[in-house]
């Protein structure tokens, strides 16, 4: 289960202090998608109504996208025995981004990994280490290139199952911030458990501050980034994990190459960009790719910045360096194009 970034919450409180009446802080706690979420908008009392509608939108998306909800579009596609199903524009948009990020990451993102994620128990909390033969058999049905999407018609091959958990929260953040913007809100921050998305600036005109959590435990942040109108989305090995009897730690982001937790020295990846959907898909893909490939991937694109956390240092891409403040836990290096 995800925690709200303590620093982001603290900054919100500071931003609220002394703000004039017209810029009062209004917050809404939501528990959805197995995540604690906090929606905060500044303005007069009229911002409460869009915050309620934002919560309703999150609940609606959860029902539409959840792999376990028997009424969801994903459940229908997974249980159609290979027959086509019609999906909403929302689901189609998520699937298109999943396909493009899978392709550009050399297959690191595979939404068809769901049965493997399930075998490790990450979906239920009944953790176990599956045997090699079991994983090898499940991997035979992992191949996102075999998923077909023509317009709003989705076909998942018989025997395959997909799950949008790697990127659907980013889409949800985009939907929520769009709704709040359309309602005229110009200052807001939404935290969907590790996925932070912002509108405008704080009421005092300064940028939002988002903390980079310490994967090694402890309250000290590895650093902070200062952003306006951006998504800041983190995938890490410390979010959902278990420790086996022999002391080995296993986490929830799986390398499709071997069906085991991606273990390449990266501890977390934070992606900063305009689109929450794309940043969320990228955070998972880059985590699987590992430091070297992630840097090459960043160099091949011009629409995101990133912070990679390894055991002994942080790598910060040049476009975010001016808005990055390092903590004292680890040294950091700038990555240039
Ligand atoms: P991210 O890095 O963004 O995503 C990691 C997740 O993606 C993993 O947990 C796994 O599910 C999947 N994954 C792992 N490796 C790969 C890979 N290589 N390629 C693609 N995907 C991969 N959790 C529950 O326990 N119960 C629920 O009922 C539940 N309902 C949900 C409903 C919705 C609509 C959504 C979006 C999520 C829900 N979740 C639920 C949480 C979900 O299962 C994931 O754990 C969560 O989305 C992970 O997000 P993250 O930001 O921690 O990690
Ligand atoms: Mg992700």
| Cβ atoms 311, 267 nearer than 8 A | yes
Give Cα 329 distance to the centre of its chain. Answer: 24
Half-sphere exposure (Cβ direction) of 166: Cα atoms closer than 13 Å: 29
Any atom of ligand 1 within 6 Å of the Cβ of 192 = no
The span from the CA of 60 to the CA of 190, in Å, is 17
Residue 6 pLDDT: 43
Residue 217 pLDDT: 83
Atom of ligand 1 nearest to the CA of 168: 36
Ligand nearest to the backbone CA of 98 = 1
DSSP string, 239-300: SSEEE-TTS-EEESPEETTTTEE--SSEEEEEEEES-HHHHHHHHHHHHHH-HHHHHHHHHT
Atom of ligand 1 nearest to the CA of 167: 3
Residue 17 pLDDT: 43
The span from the CA of 145 to the CA of 143, in Å, is 5
Which of 201, 225, 205 has its CA nearest to residue 7?
225
What is the residue with the minimal CA distance to atom 51 of ligand 1? 235
Q: Report the SS3 class of residue 282.
A: helix
The CA-to-CA distance between both ends of the chain, in Å, stands at 36
Any atom of ligand 1 within 6 Å of the Cβ of 305 = no
Any atom of ligand 1 within 6 Å of the Cβ of 261 = no
The span from the CA of 123 to the CA of 62, in Å, is 15
pTM listed for this prediction: 0.94
What is the residue with the minimal CA distance to atom 5 of ligand 1? 166
332 — phi, psi (to 5°)? -135, 160
Residue 23 pLDDT: 86
Which residues have a Cβ under 8 Å from the Cβ of 327 and sit 6 or more positions away? 212, 214, 220, 221, 222, 223, 224
Return residues with CB closer than 5 A to ligand 2 (ion): 166, 235, 280, 283-284
What is the pLDDT tens value at each position of the chain, 337 positions in all? 444 444 444 444 444 444 445 689 999 999 999 999 999 999 999 999 999 999 999 999 999 999 999 999 999 999 999 999 999 999 999 999 999 999 999 999 999 999 999 999 998 899 999 999 999 999 999 999 999 999 999 999 999 999 999 999 999 999 999 999 999 999 999 999 989 999 999 999 999 999 999 988 888 999 999 999 999 999 999 889 999 999 999 999 999 999 999 999 999 999 999 999 999 999 999 999 999 999 999 999 999 999 999 999 999 999 999 999 999 899 999 999 9
Centroid of ligand 2 to alpha carbon of 284 (angstroms): 4
Residue 189 pLDDT: 98
Residue 10 pLDDT: 40
Residue 222 pLDDT: 94
Atom of ligand 1 nearest to the CA of 98: 20
- pLDDT tens profile 185-202: 999 999 999 899 999 999
Which of 161, 165, 78 has its CA nearest to residue 116?
161
Residue from 106, 166, 262, 276 whose mutation best tests the ligand 1 pocket (most atoms within 8 A of CB): 166
What are the Cα distances from residue 332, in Å, to 66, 84, 314, 327? 38, 48, 4, 9
DSSP string, 12-57: HHHHHTT--GGGEEEEEEEEETTEEEEEEEEESGGGHHHHHHHHHH
Q: Which tokens is 225 given?
A: 């980034």
Q: Are strands 314-317 and 332-335 parallel, antiparallel or unpaired?
A: parallel
Q: Are strands 24-32 and 35-43 parallel, antiparallel or unpaired?
A: antiparallel
Max CA-CA distance within the chain?
Answer: 63
Q: Report the SS3 class of residue 162.
A: coil
Any atom of ligand 1 within 6 Å of the Cβ of 279 = no
- pLDDT tens profile 146-178: 999 999 999 999 999 999 999 999 999 999 999
Ligand nearest to the backbone CA of 2 = 1
Residue 261, Cβ neighbours under 10 Å: how many? Answer: 18
The span from the CA of 314 to the CA of 329, in Å, is 10
């Amino acid at each position: 289960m995800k925690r709200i970034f303590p620093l982001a919450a603290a900054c919100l409180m500071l931003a609220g202090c002394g703000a004039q009446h017209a810029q009062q802080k209004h917050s809404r706690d939501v528990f959805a998608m197995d995540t604690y979420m906090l929606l905060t908008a500044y303005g007069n009392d009229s911002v409460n109504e869009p915050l309620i509608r934002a919560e309703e939108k999150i609940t609606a998306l959860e029902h539409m996208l959840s792999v376990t909800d028997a009424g969801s579009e994903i459940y229908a596609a997974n249980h159609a025995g290979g027959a086509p199903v019609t999906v909403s524009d929302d689901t189609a948009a998520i699937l298109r981004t999943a396909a493009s990020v899978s392709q550009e990451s050399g297959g690191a993102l595979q939404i068809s990994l769901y049965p493997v994620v399930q075998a490790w128990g990450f979906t239920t909390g009944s953790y176990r280490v599956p045997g090699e033969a079991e994983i090898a058999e499940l991997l035979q049905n992992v191949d996102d290139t075999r998923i077909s999407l023509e317009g709003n018609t989705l076909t998942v091959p018989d025997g395959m199952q997909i799950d949008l958990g790697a990127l659907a929260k980013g889409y949800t953040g985009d939907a929520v911030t769009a709704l709040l913007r359309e309602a005229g809100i110009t200052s807001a921050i939404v935290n969907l458990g590790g996925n932070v998305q912002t509108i405008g600036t704080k009421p005092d005109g300064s940028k939002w501050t988002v903390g980079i959590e310490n994967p090694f435990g402890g309250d000290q942040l590895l650093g902070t980034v200062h952003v306006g109108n951006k998504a800041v989305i983190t995938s890490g090995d410390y979010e959902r994990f278990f420790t086996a009897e022999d002391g080995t730690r296993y986490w929830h982001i799986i390398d499709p190459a071997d069906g085991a937790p991606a273990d390449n020295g990266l501890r977390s990846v934070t992606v900063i960009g305009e689109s929450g959907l794309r940043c969320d898909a990228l955070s998972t893909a880059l985590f699987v790719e590992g430091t070297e490939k992630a840097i090459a991937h960043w160099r091949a694109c011009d629409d995101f910045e990133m912070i990679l956390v390894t055991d002994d240092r942080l790598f910060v891409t040049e476009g975010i360096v001016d808005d990055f403040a390092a903590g004292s836990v680890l040294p950091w290096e700038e990555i240039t194009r």
